């Protein structure tokens, strides 16, 4: 089950009030949305998710709130269009939880995890996104693969891994996660395999980001979020790696200089020891919040 991270902190900053309307741009299993709906009286939540199966999951999990919940299967990259289409507002708060759900890792069967032998897909949206991790690995130039691993995965052995992928795909098509993990294992030094972070983590991260245009979509949604917020409303973003956090941090700084927001978190909020004990994925979470002024 997907456990929402930093839930107490999110509720504290968004401060759901009676009749307040909120947008959860990455509703996943609905944990954060449920906590908001329990507190905002007659207010509504607009929940967006690019994955149709997550939307269906939310319909069931949040059935008790169905009269106050609007669910949309779309990318948050289209936030303003969605708000206009559903005539949703005024909006008191917007949440972006950029982490992957446990469902994607453990049950989707789409190759997000190197610990399961699955097809190299990595798409959140199967209907509208034609690009798969397998296509990148098997068809893209070696230099492009290296760039993805270096920039999106921050992988220091990107060149060696990309070279090994190019070498191996000449022999046979690379279609499954275990195949790719084995290639990475062959490419990196022995000492790298003994480090705390698994040697395949950064490669898989880089590919997932590339497949789903995650950083581009994040850059696109942040100004939209500020535009659709009511004055005095807050936007809260939970990121899970430095690339996302840097984008959010810089956007909030630039917006504060323009006097369009006030930054409420001078430093990112992180999970406490107790939460990390019960939910390991929270250990890398960073929360930043800004108030529209």
37 falls within a domain? yes
Judgement on whether residues 219 and 90 belong to the same structural domain of the protein = yes
Q: Give how many domains the chain has, as a whole number.
A: 2
Judgement on whether residues 113 and 148 belong to the same structural domain of the protein = yes
Mean pLDDT (the chain) is: 95
pLDDT given at position 2: 59
62 falls within a domain? yes
> Which distant-in-sequence residues (6+ apart) come within 8 Å of 199 by Cβ?
184, 185, 188, 192, 193
Judgement on whether residues 151 and 93 belong to the same structural domain of the protein = no
- C-alpha distances out from residue 170 to 149, 167, 179, 248, Å: 20, 6, 14, 40
Contact 37, 68 (CB under 8 A): yes
Q: Which domain holds residue 208?
A: 109-212
Judgement on whether residues 163 and 185 belong to the same structural domain of the protein = yes
> Which distant-in-sequence residues (6+ apart) come within 8 Å of 258 by Cβ?
none
Which of the four pLDDT bands, split at 50, 70 and 90, describes residue 275? Answer: very high
Instruction: Report the alpha-carbon distance of residue 49 to residue 33 in Å, rounded.
Output: 12
Q: What is the pLDDT of residues 239-268, one digit of tens each?
A: 999 999 999 999 999 999 999 999 999 999
Contact 241, 284 (CB under 8 A): yes
Judgement on whether residues 97 and 220 belong to the same structural domain of the protein = yes
283 falls within a domain? yes
The domain spanning residue 205 has which CATH number? 1.10.150.170
Q: Of 146, 178, 212, which closes a domain? A: 212
Instruction: Report the alpha-carbon distance of residue 216 to residue 146 in Å, rounded.
Output: 19
Q: Of 191, 212, 233, which closes a domain? A: 212
Q: What is the pLDDT of residues 98-115, one digit of tens each?
A: 987 777 788 888 999 999
Which of the four pLDDT bands, split at 50, 70 and 90, describes residue 1? Answer: very low
2 falls within a domain? no
Contact 44, 72 (CB under 8 A): no
């Amino acid at each position: 089950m997907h456990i929402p991270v930093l839930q107490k902190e999110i509720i504290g900053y968004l401060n759901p009030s009676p009749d307040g309307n909120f947008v959860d741009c990455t509703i996943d299993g609905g944990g954060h949305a449920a906590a908001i709906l329990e507190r905002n009286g007659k207010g509504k939540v607009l929940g967006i998710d690019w994955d149709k199966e997550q939307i269906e999951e939310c319909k069931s999990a949040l059935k008790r709130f169905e009269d106050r919940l609007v669910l949309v299967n779309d990318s948050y990259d289209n936030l303003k269009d969605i708000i206009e289409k559903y005539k949703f507002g005024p909006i008191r708060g917007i949440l972006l939880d950029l982490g992957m759900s446990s469902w994607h890792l453990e049950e989707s069967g789409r190759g997000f995890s190197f610990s399961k032998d699955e097809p190299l897909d990595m798409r959140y949206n199967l209907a509208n996104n034609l690009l798969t991790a397998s296509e990148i690995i098997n068809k893209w130039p070696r230099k492009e693969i290296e760039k993805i691993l270096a920039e999106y995965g921050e992988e220091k052995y990107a060149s060696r891994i990309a070279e090994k992928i190019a070498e191996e795909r000449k022999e046979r098509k690379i279609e499954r996660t275990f195949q790719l993990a084995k290639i990475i294992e062959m490419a990196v030094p022995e000492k790298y395999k003994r480090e705390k972070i698994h040697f395949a983590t950064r490669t898989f991260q880089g590919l997932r980001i590339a497949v789903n245009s995650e950083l581009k979509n994040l850059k696109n949604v942040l100004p939209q979020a500020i535009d659709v917020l009511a004055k005095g409303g807050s936007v809260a973003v939970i990121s899970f790696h430095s690339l996302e956090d840097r984008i959010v941090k810089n956007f909030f700084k630039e917006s504060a200089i323009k006097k369009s927001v006030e930054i409420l978190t001078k430093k990112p909020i992180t999970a406490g020891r107790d939460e990390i004990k019960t939910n390991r994925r929270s250990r890398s979470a960073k929360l930043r919040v800004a108030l529209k002024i």
